[in-house]
Amino acid sequence: MINFLDKFFKRTQNLNSLTKKIVDISKNTPVKKIFNSINNFSSNSEVRYVGGCIRKIIKGELVDDIDLATNLNPQQVCEALKKDNINFYETGIEHGTITAVIDDYNFEITSLREDVVTDGRHAQVKFSDDWKKDASRRDFTINAIYSDIEGNLFDPYNGKEDLEKGLIKFIGDPEQRIKEDFLRILRYLRFYLSYSNCGHEPETSKIIKKNIVGISQLSKERLLNELKKFFKSNTLTKLSKDQFSLELFDIIFPQLENFKVFSNPNNFAKDKIKESDFIFLLSTLLIDGTDNTDYFVYKFNLSKKDQKRLKIIDNFYKEKVSAKSFSEKNLNRLFYYKGKQSLIDILSFKVFTSKKIDQKILNLIEKYQSKNQPLMPFGAKFLMEKYQIPEGKNLGTKLKNIEEEWVNNNFKLSEKQINKIVSR
């Protein structure tokens, strides 16, 4: 049952195309199972779409994740999902979030809540069944839009209207909202650059500058996750042209120095920005021939995999780059020893950060993208059987010398060449 105020206040029905898009998601994903499970749990239980997915539907963007809100507490959510054999895991149960897994979809289900204590980094919450109170604790009006499975909106702060007008408004007092969680400064910038149609409100800018020091209280993990969302939302070209945003980014991420690359990108870069992943785009902002990348990697504790990928690009461009750097012999060595991904990164970085597009480098990218990383056809067993070389240091040395010659010879080696290496 929907409580009287909810039913009467700001519940919008029959929004035509918007309603159809929401209903389509309900039909085309397994989310309907969650709606059925929770809505049928009790006479008062209800679940709704909330936040990013509704925002993206309104703006005609790709919906790549689906968040849900419910008036059940986390324990009840678990009971409802168990009852209907829906797999789930407790991603943030202390804050009321359960992630349901159906087929290849993950659905975050968060219980309605109220903030009890906030310190700028974390919040202690208590669970609620009041949709308006849940909305009132959210950061921006555009993130406090809910919808049922049939596409009926509950929009207590006119977020849909603000989104359509390009207005990024805090809910309630902006300074209070920011002091509750200083990450909202970065979130404001991301939403502003993604959706705003007007300049920054002077009072909002003043409050953000006043509280920017609070960013230092945030964990590096939360900052890095928000930075990834920035890159994913394709706002880098807009960021490079917004002075206020650039000033804040310089304070928060001083290692990201090369925004000029995004102010007037070449045609290759324009396409690459849309399709590239976080690590490649990060490399274009960090790598400048100094220890800048090393410091960022250390400060933000990137995964070993991401560190390795960044460092390969960084080390290549720390050396003196010349035409020889892009010779077939050198590129083949990179291809074999560092892998296809790293070689494509190095070549793409070259074109991405140049004023003019080098067609030769583009041809090389196309060439190596179509090739598989070669496997050396000669192994220890081959040498031991054909040349009677016993296991040991000498075998390893011969094998390494053969590998080097094979790579330097464009992954080809004759029996005569092998005999010569073995006989040394």
What are 207-237's pLDDT values in tens digits? 999 999 999 999 999 999 999 998 887 789 8
Q: Tens digits of per-residue pLDDT, 397-407? A: 999 999 999 99
Long-range Cβ pairs for the range 357-366 (8 Å, 24+): 357/266, 357/267, 357/268, 360/326, 361/326, 362/268, 364/326, 364/331
As a whole number of angstroms, the distance between CA 348 and CA 104 comes to 32
Is the predicted pLDDT of residue 278 greater than 60, yes or no? yes
The mean pLDDT of the chain is 91
As a whole number of angstroms, the distance between CA 97 and CA 89 comes to 9
Residues 6+ apart with CB under 8 A from 7: none
Is the predicted pLDDT of residue 4 greater than 70, yes or no? no
Is the predicted pLDDT of residue 13 greater than 70, yes or no? no
120 with 214: CB under 8 angstroms? yes
Band the pLDDT of 126: cuts 50, 70, 90: confident
Q: Tens digits of per-residue pLDDT, 358-377? A: 999 999 999 999 999 999 99
Is the predicted pLDDT of residue 9 greater than 60, yes or no? no
Architecture of domain 1-172: 2-Layer Sandwich (3.30)
With b meaning 16 or more CB within 10 Å and e meaning fewer, what string describes 35-45?
bebbbebeeeb
As a whole number of angstroms, the distance between CA 8 and CA 400 comes to 77
What are the structural domain ranges in the chain? 1-172, 173-253, 269-369, 380-422
Per-residue confidence (pLDDT) for residue 14, from 0 to 100: 44
